Chain A
Amino acid sequence: MSASLERGVALFKEAIDAPIASFFSSCVHCGLCAEACEFYVDTGDPKYTPIHKLDPLKRLWRQEYTLVGRIAKALGLSRPITDAELAEWSELVYDSCTLCARCSMVCPVGNDIAYMVRKMREGMAVAGHAPEGLIFATTRTINVGSPMGVSIDTVKAQIRHQEKETGETIPLDRVGVDYMVLLSSMEVVNYPEYLGALAKIFKQAGVTWTLSSDGFEATNSGIQIGVSDLAREIVQRVVDAAEKLKVKGVVSPECGHAYTALRWEGPNLIGRPYPFEVVHIVELLDRLRQEGRLRTSGKTDTPLTFHDPCQLVRRGGVIDQPRNLLREVAGDFRDVADRGVMNWCCGGGGGVSTNDRAEPLRLAAFRQKKEQLDAAGVSTLVTACANCRVVMEEALEAYHMEHVQVLGLTELVAEHLAQAEEARKAA
């Protein structure tokens, strides 16, 4: 057994806890997880059955943590995990799973399969079976500061550009404000108008805020690839920056996995709770709306629907907020059947979008989404995750549906912000 494989197997062993042992013990191989998984539903290939993606981990659990399995192992009757097997499983664990957790919602015995895939990736990465694209993204985050190689200078250039565009100020490194705002490099590169939208909204709502030059990147490919010490380092940057600026809260951008990384995994990675709160921008906007600090006027007549980012909704608990905001600004909102916590993933979450070799599969897995759009009969798709947005824009092109426009919810809200004067009158 090679040293890396040995370390990988050791991490598999370490990953197995009482929940996982309960899950594996209970699985009756009913196959319902397959019916919930877009990679199976859209390709019909049984190897994409979610529980099958965990096969090596399950076998290890049996060999190490069950009586019958240990006896079989002692008698030489069980098959050890090999590098060749993990190499084969790399596609199943990284390419055909976005950690969307739709399977975890339907398993009749309650298996949280996404929880297990996330843990299995730890061993896979150490054993050397993570995909190139994700390794590259993670290395760049550590070395440059962001997975797409965006540096603080690029951010500064976008700040200047957006300030000119909107006439608002975008503060950098301001101490003692309410919120430190994070970005995903996807936004910095493709949707810088998010920054301008925030400047306008926060001005109206009277929220003080800042960006930090020490920690601006919210996404964490260390988590997606499954390397905890790198994930910890990436989270630590944000925590250090927020503590240095003495902010009350950190705003996670329109990105699902960044929210999961910061809000739910971060404290566990650094080993202590945060002294500040973490909110997703959509969560914050809805809170401001409820407090009457965010006022909109007029609605768009364009028929539109909403794509729930998995990590924001099913894995994040920000469920009603996007629709509360949409009701304020959309005159013709057409919801889809499988929505909210049962939404279908864009196909590119969990690091799949940074994993080049997964592209054909990711595009195939978009079919559910396409059918949802066709059924809703809309040509505008609003979401709250820049990664979903890029993934869906690419997929729409591949499906010859370029007429469908994808919008960020924050920008849509900013477009309908009541004029400052109106806001003053109302107050």
Chain B
Amino acid sequence: MTVTSMDLLLWARGPGFEAAVVIFTLGMVWRLIEIFSLGRKPDLSLPRERAGASGLNTVFRRFLFPPGMLRRAPVTYLGGYVFHIGFGIVLLFFIPHIELARGVVGFGWPGLPTPVVDLVAVITMVTLVVMLVSRITDPAKRLISTVEDYLTWALTLAPLLTGYLAYHHLLLPYQTMLAVHILAAELLLVAMPFTKLIHFVTVFPARWYNGDLFGHKGVPS
């Protein structure tokens, strides 16, 4: 039996997609239980109140540059912003993606013109390459990097790259590349709960705890 590109596409769109969503959902629930079931001890010291010093404040404040830091690590900061915003735009405002969402959740939203998304995708991929170079050349980043960092980098780039290639009908026949693209996205989804990619959710409790620990002492962090 030979697997045709149509078989692959059908599997990716059907059972593959369902499996990825189930693994992602169960994985996320499991990991969040793992984290929060550890609990924490109550703090018996008398708290100090100060406006702007709380868990919620820090959740929002950490979207900004801390004073003096942009100058010290411009590549990391700018790369971080450009990548996250770019990835978000491509994921959420590419019209076929919105149509997919409409099929799953029952509603859609306005998209961006495809040439705009196309440009954003290129910028995002270039940024990822810059970030990889920075990871390899910056001594601190290089030391703390593990196989997981390079693996998640590849898993993040893969849907962007295959999507770009599929749209431009490059390298493989469109239908095959589209199937590869969907599979790449599913792989990313499956990896999310079990790798550092989980930060897309845990960043909120982590920042909240930070702000709460500092906030207890009246320090806006």
Contact = CB atoms under 8 A, between A and B. Distances in A.
Given A29-B135, A106-B69, 20 more contacts: A18-B209, A23-B210, A25-B31, A26-B198, A26-B199, A28-B149, A29-B144, A29-B145, A30-B80, A32-B77, A35-B140, A46-B143, A47-B143, A52-B143, A104-B221, A108-B62, A264-B45, A272-B44, A273-B46, A338-B67
Q: In which size bucket is the chain B interface?
A: 35 or more
A342 B199 contact: no
A401 interface: no
Interface string A96-139: 00000000111111111001000000000000000000000000
Contact of A112 (B34, B41, B141, B213): B213
26 contacts: A17-B38, A18-B38, A20-B38, A25-B196, A26-B199, A26-B202, A30-B76, A31-B141, A31-B144, A35-B73, A36-B69, A40-B140, A46-B139, A46-B140, A46-B142, A66-B31, A67-B30, A107-B210, A110-B62, A110-B203, A112-B213, A273-B46, A313-B219, A319-B219, A338-B68, A342-B66
Interface string A255-279: 0000000011111100111100100
B181 interface: no
Interface residues of A, number: 62
A109 B38 CA distance: 19
Contacts of A21: 34-35, 38
Residue among B41, B45, B206 with most chain A CB within 10 A: B206
A21 to B, nearest CB: 4
Contacts of A28: 149, 196, 199
Contact of B66 (A22, A27, A106): A106
Contacts of B209: 18-19, 22-23, 110, 112
A109 B202 CA distance: 8
B76 A341 contact: no
Contacts of A273: 44-46
Contacts of B109: none
Contacts, number: 179
A315 interface: yes
B138 A31 contact: yes
Question: For A16, A25, A271, which residue has the most chain B Cβ atoms within 10 angstroms?
Answer: A25
Given A23-B206, A108-B80, A115-B213, A342 B67 contact: yes
Interface of B is mostly: helix
A337 interface: yes
A65 B34 contact: yes
Interface in A253-310: 263-268, 271-274, 277
Nearest to A269: B44
Interface of B: 30-31, 34-41, 43-46, 48, 50, 53, 58-59, 62, 66-69, 72-73, 76-77, 80, 135, 138-146, 149, 194, 196, 198-199, 202-203, 205-211, 213-214, 216-221
Contact of B146 (A29, A106, A109, A110): A29
A19 B36 CA distance: 8
A271 B44 contact: yes
Contacts of A337: 68
A209 B40 CA distance: 38
A413 to B, nearest CB: 22
Contacts of A272: 44
A52 B144 contact: yes
Given A268-B41, A314-B219, A49 B143 contact: yes
Interface in A1-48: 16-23, 25-32, 34-36, 40-41, 44, 46-47
A330 interface: no
